[in-house]
Structures are given as structure tokens and as C-alpha cells.
Amino acid sequence: METSYETNKKVTSQILNESGMSLIEILIVITLIATIGAFVGSKVFEQGDEGKYKAAKIYMQTLAASLEDYKLRCGSYPENLDQMKKGGGTDSCENFPKNGFIRDQDLKDPWGNPVTYSKSGSEYTLISYGADGQEGGTGRDKDISSDDM
């Protein structure tokens, strides 16, 4: 019959003889996990940029519809977008809604950049300069204009 001392000695011997992972193996696994994470993360961010670009196009269409509503109620397009906000109506517009046509946050694209509005006679142009907020660009930095819709 084995004594508790002999049993403890066997268990200790078995634990010491078990092989574990070496430092190199652990570093390889960590490197693989980091590489996969970087790849997946970049794909997720690309989808986010594409989503913001699509949202910007929809936003521009919505703002264009608000401009058309302004024209129907007030007879012409506003001189600037601030005239469409609450309290921004002109004296010549009798049908100006109490809360305005747009809110302050409606004047920025999904990237937080201001939307450019220009009026020429009975025509207007809205422009979002994309993610970089600069004129021109490609991909996520491409400009979105109401003239292109």
C-alpha cells in the first residue's frame, strides 16, 4: 500500500515531466493572432467608410428635398443654408415652418464636415467634400455633389 508521501512524490514527478509550450511557440501564436486581427480590423473599417459614403449620398438627397420644400413654400431657394434653420426665415417667406426646414446638425456631412451650398439664379449646388473635407479626391475622399445625383 502506498503512503501519502509516495503518492505526492508520484504526482510531483508527473507534473515536472509534462512538457509545456516554449516561449517561441507562444510568440508565434501571438503573432498569428495579431496578424489575423489586423486583417479583420482593416476590413471592418473599410466597410464603415463605405457606409458613411452611402449615408452622405442619402443625406445630400434629403437636404436637396428640404431645399425644394423651401422653394415651394417661400418662392425661391435660400441665399444660404442658415436661412432654412429655425429662426432663420426671411420676412418674405410667409409659410416658414415654426421649427425651420433643417437643424444645425443637418448642415454637416457624416464625417462632420460642413456642406457647401451655392446658389446661381434658380439653380443650386450642394457639395460634401468626402472624408478628408478637401476638394477632389478618390475613394472615401471623393466629393459628392447634388449635380451628380
Find, among 136, 138, 144, the residue nearest to 116 by Cα: 144
Position of cell 482593416?
42
For the cut 60, the answer to whether the pLDDT of residue 108 exceeds it is yes
pLDDT tens, 52-67?
888 888 888 989 999 9
Task: List domains and CATH numbers for the chain.
Answer: 24-148 (3.30.700.10)
Provide, rounded to the nearest whole percent, the portion of the chain with pLDDT above 70.
77
Q: Which letter, b or e, does each residue of 55-77 get, where b requires 16 or more Cβ atoms within 10 Å of its Cβ?
A: ebeebbeebeebbeebeeebeeb
Beta bridge partners of 125: 118
Are 102 and 114 contacting, i.e. CB atoms less than 8 angstroms apart? Answer: no
pTM of the predicted protein model: 0.64
In the chain, at which residue ranges do the beta strands (DSSP E only) sit?
Answer: 116-120, 123-128, 144-145
